[in-house]
Amino acid sequence: MRAIYRILDANFNRAREALRVVEDCGRFALNDPAVTAAAKCMRSDLKEIYTALPVAEMLVSRDTPGDLGTELTSPAERQRADVHDVAAAALKRLTEALRTIEEYSKMVSPEQAGRVERIRYSAYTLEQRLMSRLTVGRRFGDARLYVLITPGQCRGPVRETAAAAIAGGADVLQLRAKEMSDAAALSLAAELRALCDETGTLLIVNDRADIAAIVAADGLHLGQDDLPIAAARRLLRPGAIVGRSTHSVEQALAAVKEGADYIGVGPMFATATKDYAPVGVAMLRAVREAVDIPIAAIGGITADCAREVFQAGATCVAVSSAVCAAEDPHAAAIAIRGHSRL
């Protein structure tokens, strides 16, 4: 059994070390309490399982100087380009180690092997959440329907409206709570963060970099007169994106130069929520030719004109009242999202 105990000991160490890397990523890099708590709880659960096994035998069987694996490595193992690479490597080590522990524990304690299996499934969920947080830019580029949740426009409870929009095909939600108190806006942002986590939807916060940072939002949207993008990024977690509203080709080019991850272009058509005159789809076409980052077309867009906007070069359409103020937000979102398939 000595070989079995060596295998178990090595993989418990490997799993706990990987969880520490993941926990630190969630805690310090992403400011994500859910990721941090999940990793911490897994480490605690693994410690309980470890102590329920023959700890003395595992420790006695440890032979670090004689372990051939300490001398074997690959060039890729010594290379990490960014936080994404570090987290991805740790999560793969975690799930692999848990699988090994689960299989070899069956020879020592089938009961504990069953507990390890449950942790392994939780690790897959943790991996999905953490990696999705670190790939926000790519996910935004694939988005087609971007719904601005404006509480004052919602006919029903805000969370229900947001959930209906997501069920109807919204890829991104933006909290636009200009008329709310700071405390109320923060509470709603946290509620939408939880909803977006449950559904795999991106959450953007309008204007408020502080609230975006507190709830670990996926991004921040800024107007022409808001914070400089570089200053805003200092408050946001790594991987979070920043968009800028633009109303001309010149503003679009300036936003790209400033480092925007995407731009909003509009208003496309007349709308009560925008102070600018409509720029129309001709402007959208000109902006599309000038920049190569994602474009969210916004302003007066409904199901009747969404196809025209997509054909003019929008990556996604951003709507507010067309969904939030609709009698059936779910159906409204479906109708608009359907025009993204050109």
Show which residues are catalytic.
176, 245, 274
**Strand bridging mode 241-246 / 295-298:** unpaired
CA atoms of 196 and 260, how far apart (whole Å): 23
Encoded tokens for 289: 């030719």
Unique residue bearing structure tokens 């947001």? 162
Helices (H) and strands (E) in the chain — how many of each?
A: 15, 8
Phi, psi of 298 (to 5 degrees): -145, 155
261-277 core/surface letters (b: 16 or more CB in 10 A; e: else):
bbbbbbbbbebeebeee
As a whole number of Å, the end-to-end CA separation of the chain is 62
